[in-house]
Structure formats: C-alpha cells, structure tokens
Amino acid sequence: MVRRTLCLLLLMVAVCVRVAADEEASNAPHVAIDQFGRCYAKSVPLESYGSAGSTSVYAVERGQDRLIDSYAWYSKEIYLQCYTQTPDGRSATSVVQLGPWARGQKASRGDLALAFYAGGALLRRYSTLDIAGSPDRVSASVSHYRVIARVDGYVPNGSRSAFAIVTEDGRSLLFDPATGVLVQTIAEPVRGSGVAPVR
C-alpha cells in the first residue's frame, strides 16, 4: 500500500512539473543583430503575450546609429541580414519575424509561423498550417505546438543567400530573403524529432 501511494505521488509530481514547464513566458524587450553586426533590431512588446508592439531596425554607424525600418509588431525571435539584394538590384535589410507561442494542438491558418520583410514592408507571411502542410504535422505539448524544429537562418545558396528552417516533420525549407518566396523543399528526417518524416 505504501509503495503504491509513493508511486502515485511520484507520478503526480512528474505531471505537475511537466505542466509547469510548459507555461508560456511573458514578453520582454528583445534585440537581434545580423551575423556581421552591421545592423540590429530592437523589438518592444505592448502586451504580456502575443505580437502587439513595435520593432525598429538600425544600421550600425560611427557616432549615432541610423534608423532603417520600423514595423508595427513584436517578436521574441527575429533574424536579420543587412544588404540583401532585392529583385530590382537595390539593397535592403531582410527581416524575418517568427510567430508567437502557438496555443493548441494543431497547425492553423490563424497562427503565424514566420513572415518576411524588407524596406519597411511585408513581403510574405506563412501560417503554421502553410509550413506544416496539414494540421497534424506538429510537435504538440500540453498547451502549445510547434511546426519549426530548427532555424538555420541565412545560409549560402548559389551566388545568393537563402533563409533556412527545418520543420518538425523533418523537411528543410529554403526561402528567398529578398522576396519571401519558398524556393526549395528538401525532405530529410530530423534525428530524434519523434515526428515521422512526410513522404
């Protein structure tokens, strides 16, 4: 009887620890820099949760840094690439915003996965359902789900660069940072992800 009670108590503690560890952290100001330190973004939330807020992108210059772009959203995870060549040959700062904590258990058109910006404008937005391909291709916990297993960021892709992510079902997706367009999908299983690769 004592052994059974002890096992039950340990099981309850384990469940409580898992639930407590699965709580969404509240928003806090966030700063991101590009890989060479030539520009940075400062993102400030308006609310404790979600994407309401503002993000300002600055070029690092001698003396005082110069404001390049500003956006009416907040993100805990931002990626930057200064001097991205646009389709018309100009140079712009590529900004990738990752979406907030996705509540629930299934991918949805209403939940932001990632969005591409340049020159102060939205280029393309992808929902969690766009990235997953179907509602069940997610890694779900008690309170939320994920469709992106890993962000590789800006990577070489021929003579240009691409923005790379790996999905929870093991696909590598490459996007053109100058347009936000998905340019390549590579189906490879992610080791230890626990999600079967999609064929």
DSSP 57-72: EEE--SSS-EEEEEES
Cα separation values, 25 from 48, 73, 76, 150, Å: 9, 18, 10, 19
Asked whether the predicted pLDDT for residue 41 surpasses 70, the reply is yes
pLDDT surpasses 60 at 29: yes
Q: Which domain holds residue 79?
A: 26-187
| Average pLDDT over every residue of 67-72 | 97
Domains of the chain: total: 1
Q: Is residue 67 part of a domain?
A: yes
> Is 2 contained in some domain?
no
Amino acid 189 reads: P
pLDDT of residue 4: 62
Residue 198 resides in a domain:
no
Residue 175: pLDDT over 70: yes
Task: Tell whether 197 is covered by a domain.
Answer: no
Task: State residue 86's pLDDT score.
Answer: 85
Residue 14: is its pLDDT beyond 70? no
- Average pLDDT score, the chain: 86
Residues in Cβ contact with 35 at an 8 Å cutoff, skipping those fewer than 6 apart: 81, 153, 154
User: Considering the domain boundaries, does residue 19 fall inside one?
Assistant: no
Task: Please indicate, yes or no, if residue 3 is contained in any of the structural domains.
Answer: no
Q: What is the pTM of this model?
A: 0.82
pLDDT at 3 over 70: no
Q: Tell whether 194 is covered by a domain.
A: no
Q: Assess if residue 199 is contained within a domain.
A: no
Lowest mean pLDDT among 43-57, 135-149, 180-194: 180-194
pLDDT of residue 146: 94
- At 89 the pLDDT is 85
